[in-house]
Chain A
Amino acid sequence: KAGVTQTPRYLIKTRGQQVTLSCSPISGHRSVSWYQQTPGQGLQFLFEYFSETQRNKGNFPGRFSGRQFSNSRSEMNVSTLELGDSALYLCASRPPGAGDTQYFGPGTRLTVL
């Protein structure tokens, strides 16, 4: 079974721009979570989607948003990019009925100049 895939793997943007990242969960997984990973703050939870609905959100400003499609694929968007948004953005999916286990994708490395 294919793992979680994320596109693009690397991205360079400038301040003020916006960016959209994509995540395809493992087939059959309906829950998708997004995390930001930085050397200073570590892994921080952004939000979780299940059946196209956001059901949990971390402590990030409204510039960070996401959505999930009917095929469980998810996108996250960051508007008005700041230098501090440079990070590895990780997506994780979780199978139905398996409790809490989640599986991560390889991440998208975003650099804001």
Chain B
Amino acid sequence: GENVEQHPSTLSVQEGDSAVIKCTYSDSASNYFPWYKQELGKGPQLIIDIRSNVGEKKDQRIAVTLNKTAKHFSLHITETQPEDSAVYFCAASIRSYGQNFVFGPGTRLSVLP
């Protein structure tokens, strides 16, 4: 089955710097890759996603890139702010009947003022 690895497990950056989180997946049939942000005491919140027919997607300060050949995708956050501090999860799924999401272990991002 699918396996998703995520690095780093913790990341500290200075406010205003960029943060990059990387994920790799094992199943080449996976075709949908969302990123979630989870704050303390809350459920994961979808922040951006990308499908396998797209190489890059951007939404304001957040961007995701996908390399299907290497089977890895990355989250890029520019101009980080303290409110970006949270745990970030990547996931992979195969778009099919009864799809099943497999999540990475998470990255705890701390943005230092």
Contact = CB atoms under 8 A, between A and B. Distances in A.
Interface in A62-96: 90, 92
Most buried by A among B89, B97, B100: B100
Contacts of A90: 43-44
Interface string A82-113: 00000000101000000111111111000000
Nearest to B42: A106
A43 B89 contact: yes
Interface residues of A, number: 22
Interface in A11-55: 33, 42-45, 48, 50, 55
A105 B43 contact: yes
21 contacts: A33-B101, A42-B89, A42-B105, A43-B44, A43-B106, A45-B101, A48-B98, A50-B98, A55-B97, A56-B99, A56-B100, A100-B32, A100-B49, A100-B93, A102-B46, A102-B101, A104-B43, A104-B44, A106-B42, A106-B43, A107-B42
Interface of A: 4, 33, 42-45, 48, 50, 55-56, 58, 90, 92, 99-107
Given A42-B104, A48-B99, A100-B93, 17 more contacts: A33-B101, A43-B91, A43-B106, A45-B100, A55-B97, A55-B98, A90-B43, A92-B43, A99-B32, A100-B99, A101-B46, A102-B34, A102-B46, A104-B36, A104-B46, A105-B43, A107-B43
